[in-house]
């Protein structure tokens, strides 16, 4: 792994670059940052067999169902006042957002293991592989049913254990001297400095952190 103290040879291929699975999962995590859900922000990223991203999505209300008007709570005794009847899951949105003719034989990267409803859509759309970060709801019947359907339909699934626990996006990197190379993620000695610099619309934003979805 490249560190800030390594000497860098600008005539050789850069080391410490992001590998495909972490790049796609990080893209899913970045999409999740758009979610308005106060409890769980989930992102998904669909990739074709040429490693081209063909769709991303995050959990949110359907179009026309305004975030301010529809409920985000989860514990109301009145189910109509909870989010679950309304919110579109990240996987569904990623599939519906596809910019290719279809998602046949694609891989889907997602923060949380898909529920049974998403499994149906994944299977019917022809996605062949699911890569997830957390399976924290593995005991729920929706997850058990999901795996039963995915297994029957021969959709494979596996958990990504990223080498990089954190990936930092620093908008100031573009101002660097052209001789510099981007640091590997994470760049241990520079992370705190980068966090100081990372601001979005005047508020301090957190770096992308794979540990945000914590397994129970
Ligand atoms: N695979 C998944 C699982 C969940 N979601 C969404 C649905 C809700 O917006 C939220 C879960 O809420 P919680 O019960 O944790 O308060 O996450 C998804 O998009 N994909």
Whether 108 and 98 have beta carbons less than 8 Å apart is answered as no
Ligand 1 midpoint to CA 157 (Å):
18
Pocket of ligand 1 (CB under 6 A): 37, 39-40, 42, 59, 74, 83, 87, 89-91, 110, 112, 114-115, 118
15, 91, 129, 173: the catalytic one is 91
- For a ligand 1 pocket test, name from 29, 39, 42 the mutation site with the most ligand atoms within 8 angstroms of its C-beta: 42
Q: Is residue 91 annotated as part of the catalytic site, yes or no?
A: yes
Ligand 1 midpoint to CA 33 (Å):
13
Q: pTM here?
A: 0.85
Compute the distance between CA of residue 92 and CA of residue 114 in angstroms, rounded to an integer. Answer: 10
Per-residue pLDDT of the chain (216 residues; tens, 9 = 90+): 444 445 678 899 998 899 999 999 999 999 999 999 999 999 999 999 999 999 999 999 999 999 999 999 999 999 999 999 999 999 999 999 999 999 999 999 999 999 999 999 999 999 999 999 999 999 999 999 999 999 999 999 999 999 999 999 999 888 766 656 666 666 554 444 444 433 333 444 566 778 776 554
Residue of 103, 105, 69, 71 lying closest to 85 (CA atoms): 71
Ligand 1 midpoint to CA 25 (Å):
17
Other residues' Cβ atoms within 10 Å of the Cβ of residue 181: 16
ipTM of the complex: 0.98
């Amino acid at each position: 792994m490249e560190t800030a103290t390594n000497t860098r040879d600008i005539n050789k291929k850069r080391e410490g670059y992001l590998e495909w699975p972490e790049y796609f999962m990080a893209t899913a995590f970045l999409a999740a940052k758009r979610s308005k859900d106060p409890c769980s922000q989930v992102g998904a990223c669909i990739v074709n067999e040429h490693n081209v991203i063909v769709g991303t999505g995050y959990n949110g209300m359907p179009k026309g169902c305004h975030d301010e008007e529809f409920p985000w709570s989860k514990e109301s005794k009145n189910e109509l006042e909870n989010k679950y009847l309304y919110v579109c899951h990240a996987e569904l949105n990623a599939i519906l957002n596809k910019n290719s003719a279809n998602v046949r034989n694609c891989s889907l990267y997602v923060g949380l293991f898909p529920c049974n409803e998403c499994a149906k859509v994944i299977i019917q759309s022809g996605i062949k592989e699911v890569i997830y970060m957390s399976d924290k709801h593995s005991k729920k019947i929706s997850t058990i049913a999901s795996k039963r359907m995915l297994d029957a339909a021969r959709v494979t699934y596996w958990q990504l254990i990223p080498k990089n626990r954190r990936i930092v996006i620093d908008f100031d990197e573009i101002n660097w001297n052209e001789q510099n190379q981007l640091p590997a993620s994470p760049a241990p000695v520079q992370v705190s400095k980068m966090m100081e610099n990372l601001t979005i619309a005047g508020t301090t934003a957190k770096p992308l952190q794979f540990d945000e979805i914590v397994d129970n």
